[in-house]
């Protein structure tokens, strides 16, 4: 059984009008590049696709103005999703900051299933 991981990039104020098609393309490209660099390499990853449903879910979360991760027992609609919290007005700048998030993969030891530092 394959697991699908949904990634949400939450940016206050950006979702007022939704993301442009260009921003969606860049967002998808950003996460695709990160996935290509995983170590150990993974050959069975599902194809990433942009999801308007997940965008709407992210917009709903942003509208609550809570800079925290949703607790699954309170917000079951977020079960099975991952959440990256970034704040700012410029999507591209925030994505560049997000590169540091992908660097957290070096903190995780797959063989031992342990993390040193941040692996959220």
CA distances from 28 to 23, 61, 66, 76, 110 (A): 9, 20, 24, 25, 25
How high is the pLDDT of residue 96?
A: 63
pTM above the 0.95 mark? no
Return the domain boundaries, the chain: 6-115
Q: What is d(CA 85, CA 20) in angstroms, rounded to the nearest whole number?
A: 20
**pLDDT tens digits for range 48-92:** 888 888 888 888 888 888 878 888 889 898 887 777 766 666 666
């Amino acid at each position: 059984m394959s697991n699908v991981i949904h990634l949400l990039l939450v940016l206050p104020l950006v979702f007022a009008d939704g993301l442009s098609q260009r921003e969606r393309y860049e967002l998808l490209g950003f996460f695709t590049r990160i996935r290509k660099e995983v170590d150990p390499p993974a050959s069975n990853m599902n194809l990433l696709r942009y999801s308007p449903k997940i965008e709407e879910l992210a917009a709903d979360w942003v509208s609550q103005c809570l800079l925290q991760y949703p607790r699954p027992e309170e917000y079951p609609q977020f079960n099975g999703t991952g959440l990256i919290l970034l704040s700012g007005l410029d999507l591209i700048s925030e994505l560049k900051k997000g590169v540091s998030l992908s660097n957290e993969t070096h903190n995780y030891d797959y063989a031992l299933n342990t993390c040193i530092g941040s692996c959220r």
